[in-house]
A and B are shown apart, each in its own frame.
Chain A
Amino acid sequence: MNWRGVWAIYKFEMHRFRRTLWTGLAVPVITTSLYFVVFGSAIGGRMTEIGGVPYGAFIVPGLMMLSLFTESIFNGSFGIHMPRFTGTIYEILSAPLSAFETVLGYVGAAATKGLTVALVILATAHLFVPLTIEHPVLMLLYLALVALTFCMFGFIIGVWAKGFEQLQVIPLLIVTPLTFLGGAFYSIDMLPPTWRQITLFNPVVYLINGFRWTFFGTADVAFGTALVATFAFALACLAGIWWIFRTGYRLKA
């Protein structure tokens, strides 16, 4: 293992985040506060409880997941897209690094950033609503798993994208809508039966509900099912990355 090389990429990426540290952290704090002002006070007043959980607390896992998805995809894709765009990727490709080591550096850094943002949101939310987390260790592990998965997904997008515009396409047109429709801010049990059936095809439902279960011990789908779905997505991303490095797809001519 070329651990020094992995560490070099990791530090390089973290350094990039540090340059925009304050905006990077102010954004989730402000957004979370806004959600609480709008949803928590305005709507929450009318929807007091969902499945025994106060509405303010109920939306916290969804909020964390929404940000974690966007952050992870953005950082995971930007990290590898930038050197492709500027041409500095020549150095990564010519270094004595395996595919695993390269991905570990980029995805590790992006996941660190994503996790930090998610935890900042949790802390901010805690200022607005009382929260007790039923399975804190599982919560952190699950958060890390989702972060890694979406950073890998981001990495794939970063390799696939032909320009910065395309980096935005998938997060904006697919992931965010699926998150909003996936029960980030409501329980899918509140939907009419047909809609509920359709919603179950949305993979994000499982991610959010798995995460919500670690908070409250209850959710719309069983934790085991959620875990299987999450691992399936993680494996699909791993396979995608393996294929990219095997074929050199858009990395090597």
Chain B
Amino acid sequence: MNEPILSIRGLRKAYKSGTEALKAVDLDIHRGEIFALLGPNGAGKTTLISIVCGIVTATDGVVLVDGRNWRDDYRHARTRIGLVPQELTTDAFEPVLNTVSFSRELFGKPKNSAYVEQILRDLTLWDKRHTIMKELSGGMKRRVMIAKALAHEPDILFLDEPTAGVDVELRKDMWALVRRLRERGVTIILTTHYIEEAEEMADRVGIIRLGELILVEEKNALMQKLGRKELHLELAEPLTAVPAVLDEWDLKLNDGGTHLTYTFDGKAERTGIPSLLAAMRDLGIGFKDLETKTSSLEDIFVDLIHGGRIA
């Protein structure tokens, strides 16, 4: 099926305070993909997710879950969707196993101890199943929130800034889990303002700023389309300074004068590389090695947010 699993049309939200958190957002999420919604604080990521999940009322627009209106058919939509919210909110006195079983029952699913056990084991929570929430560390609470979201076997999972304030180990576990879920066919939408996260995990990336979705792109295509590139040269002899003749290339000298870096636009007709190399040869600067690299998505992002290459 090629129909999007989630289709958002003209979604708008103006809070009572007057803040226009979303300005007519259109977005399709493909079945089985990992989609990263990337944007700075206050961009409207949480608002978007909250509207889809029924926690915030939309001012205008519709959401279709498998082609069905999410308000008219709210039981269908909500049964399919699981949400891990940004904030850690838990019932302090509930034991882990109870709170996860509660979530499953709340969503109308019959008891299934084996399934719940599997989730808890996947999230290394099984040994803690009788511990009450307030005795868990922040990272453990985050795991429980994921377990709660998965308890009713959703096939669309929202993760709102899943790794904010999370240690390296949990972050790795989380990505492993996300990949396993995707293999099982779960569609995953995550928000982040950590670019590495989108770069590492996502199939597609949407960039949101001030309530507007300014770009939606395959991650790889995005990297290429917007990628600036870097040429790294390992010099035969260290330099103390970049010769003035080479000023027009705006070179950076690093690693104690042993490496030169030249940044250029990967898409440009003329990269400036041949002329640079010719100029260096004329000066008698030799190099042992050279490589070009695509700059990270982070740079693209910073570019977008500050420079507005696409606006």
Partner-B contacts on A (CB < 8 A):
2, 4-5, 7-9, 12, 15, 19, 86-88, 90-97, 248, 252-253
Contact = CB atoms under 8 A, between A and B. Distances in A.
A88 B57 contact: no
A87 B106 contact: no
B15 A253 contact: yes
Contacts of A90: 53, 55, 83, 85, 89
B108 A19 contact: no
B109 A248 contact: no
B7 to A, nearest CB: 19
Interface residues of B, number: 32
B55 A96 contact: no
B83 A96 contact: no
Most buried by A among B55, B79, B81, B102: B55
Contact of B102 (A12, A93, A97, A252): A12
Nearest to B79: A96
22 contacts: A2-B75, A4-B105, A4-B106, A5-B105, A7-B105, A86-B90, A86-B91, A87-B85, A87-B89, A88-B89, A88-B90, A91-B148, A94-B54, A94-B78, A96-B76, A248-B57, A252-B55, A252-B56, A252-B57, A253-B50, A253-B55, A253-B56
A-side interface mostly = helix
Nearest to A248: B57
A15 B85 CA distance: 25
Given A91-B103, A95-B78, A2 B108 contact: yes
Task: Please name the 7 residue pairs, one residue from A and one from B, whose CB atoms are nearest each other, closest first.
Answer: A87-B89, A8-B105, A96-B75, A96-B78, A2-B108, A94-B53, A8-B106
A95 B55 CA distance: 10
A19 B93 contact: yes
Interface string B236-279: 00000000000000000000000000000000000000000000
A90 B53 CA distance: 9
B108 A4 contact: yes
Interface string B89-114: 11111000010001101111110000
Contacts of A253: 15-16, 50, 55-57
Contacts of B78: 94-96
A189 B89 CA distance: 54
B135 interface: no
